[in-house]
Amino acid sequence: MTTSLPPSLNADSVLDLEKETSIIDQDPSRHHHLPVPSFAFVRAANGKFTLCNPQRIRSIPPLIIGFLDLANSGDFAANVFNRVPVPVYAIVLMVIGATIALTMSFVALRDITCSWKNIRLLREERALLKSVAGDKSVELEVNHRDLGTEIFDRAGVDIAMGIGAFLIAVGTYMAPGGANHKVWFASNLLSGYIGNSLPGLYGLCNVGWSVHVWTRAHKQGCGASKHLRDDIANQLLSSRIRKTQGHAILTAIVCLVSGALSMVTPTHWWPYPVLLVCGLTFVYGTWVYRTQIGYERRLLKEDTVLDEVSLIAELRFLHSVRASFQNSSGVWLDLGLADMSISDILSFLVRCDLFESFCCALLNDSNFVKQHFQDLSMPVTTMDQQTLSNLDRPEQIAEILSSARSQIEHYGLQSVSVRERYLLECLGACLLHRKGEDKDG
């Protein structure tokens, strides 16, 4: 659902928003929404700088993962033309289907490595938050949501459907040799029952997680109706809740139906048209998650505090910035960024979660590095707001502004939208915490 957006920002309105949240920024306990603006980069053998020890949860899966459900129908020809001798056209279809399934199994293998990195980082984050004295229930709630999403909605898909696709591919490649009874039996076992059993089992597990996600979003909605008084934050959170619940229902239905029907395909052809619809729906669900629900974020630290007041203020700022991106073709001028100081520009990049990519782009500008970094013999180069703010020569300022403008115009809208989703999830966690306090009270 499209939310109504305020008019585009101008320089004065940006400054007003800065003032609106300045009281929050002065409180050191309320800096959760601003990642620490200091990054360490290491120089590779090819001269390119990359982030040293990335501390970022990259939980938005690639769209191609959505095609895993379709790949598990690669045994279509092997099951439908399950007779001897096998027609030539059926052999061609078997090879095509098996190759697609095999390719997707390697795609799943690659994605599971990314998911495992996220799971490892989230487990470390959870252990850190639990070891800190004080109430970290809100932060742990966000961690719980992200960890569950990685396990059930990403790693689960990669493992179940990836292994299933591999077994289906092997069995389908064997299908043309069905004249040999042992080969025929092994082919039917792999491409039919064993290969399809894992997606079926995953479908049952995913239903339980989807019910939890839907219920959790419903509780967030109840908390918002009771406690959330800010119109913009309420509107944004309500929209996210509807999308989250819709995605949970869609995923549960698709996984359950697809998993059940896949066990029927070894003996019947009629489930395949339904499985085609399920596969396309799964692709759509993956697209919805990528573009409207999923987010990336930096790891929460021991001094991170998620509180409702500062979250709402930051959401109002990001929402207004996003409106300007969507309503204007000249974002740099429309936001009044050309009239801001270097320090204000850098603060803007931090608040829009663009500072990390900005630093990386700046370091990989060979001219800038040669002119402004005297000693690059050190294994690690640190970039932070203060260092860049101290560069005051005209050519330095010009290069910083040029790189900042490029980052904002090319990646600003996407970065702001993703960060807004993350902060809405944090706000929902705060409301769940308040709802729990009301119940205990």
Q: Are residues 213 and 245 in the same domain?
A: yes
Q: Are residues 379 and 396 in the same domain?
A: yes
- Tokens 């990646």 label which residue? 411
Q: Are residues 274 and 382 in the same domain?
A: no
CA distance linking residue 33 with residue 426, whole number of Å: 10
In this structure, are residues 220 and 245 in contact, taking their beta carbons and an 8 Å threshold? no
Per the domain annotation, does 214 fall within a domain? Answer: yes
| Average confidence (pLDDT) over 330-343 | 82
CA distance linking residue 132 with residue 142, whole number of Å: 16
Q: How many CB atoms lie within 10 A of CB 326?
A: 13
| Average confidence (pLDDT) over 46-75 | 86
The first and second tokens of residue 54, run together, are 């990335």
Q: Are residues 161 and 217 in the same domain?
A: yes
Number of domains within the chain: 2
For residue 388, pLDDT over 50 is answered with yes
172-203 residue pLDDT tens = 999 888 778 888 888 888 887 888 888 889 98
- Tokens 């048209």 label which residue? 273
* Domain end point (choices 272, 294, 316): 294
| Average confidence (pLDDT) over 11-30 | 44
Q: Are residues 263 and 337 in the same domain?
A: no
* Domain end point (choices 271, 294, 317): 294
Instruction: Count CA atoms within 13 Å of residue 31 on its CB side.
Output: 13
Per the domain annotation, does 11 fall within a domain? Answer: no
Per the domain annotation, does 6 fall within a domain? Answer: no
In the structure, what pLDDT confidence band is assigned to residue 437 with cuts at 50, 70 and 90? Answer: low
- Beta strands 49-51 and 56-58 are unpaired
CA distance linking residue 364 with residue 381, whole number of Å: 12
Q: Are residues 263 and 356 in the same domain?
A: no
Q: Are residues 307 and 428 in the same domain?
A: yes
Q: Are residues 257 and 324 in the same domain?
A: no
CA distance linking residue 116 with residue 154, whole number of Å: 10
Query: In this predicted structure, which of 53-57, 116-120, 164-168, 298-302 has the lowest mean pLDDT?
Result: 53-57
Q: Are residues 122 and 248 in the same domain?
A: yes
The percent of the chain in helix, strand and coil, each rounded to the nearest 5, is 75, 5, 20
Phi-psi domain of 134 (left: phi exceeds 0; alpha: psi -120 through 50; beta: other) = left
In the structure, what pLDDT confidence band is assigned to residue 32 with cuts at 50, 70 and 90? Answer: very low
In this structure, are residues 129 and 136 in contact, taking their beta carbons and an 8 Å threshold? yes
Of 223 and 30, the structure prediction assigns the larger pLDDT to 223
Q: Are residues 41 and 81 in the same domain?
A: no
**Sign of torsion over alpha carbons 256, 262, 264, 270:** positive
Per the domain annotation, does 2 fall within a domain? Answer: no
Q: Are residues 283 and 312 in the same domain?
A: no
Per the domain annotation, does 390 fall within a domain? Answer: yes
Domain span holding position 202:
60-294
Q: Are residues 30 and 102 in the same domain?
A: no
Per the domain annotation, does 251 fall within a domain? Answer: yes
Residue type present at position 330: G
Per the domain annotation, does 5 fall within a domain? Answer: no
* Domain end point (choices 238, 272, 294): 294
Per the domain annotation, does 3 fall within a domain? Answer: no
pLDDT value, residue 336? 83
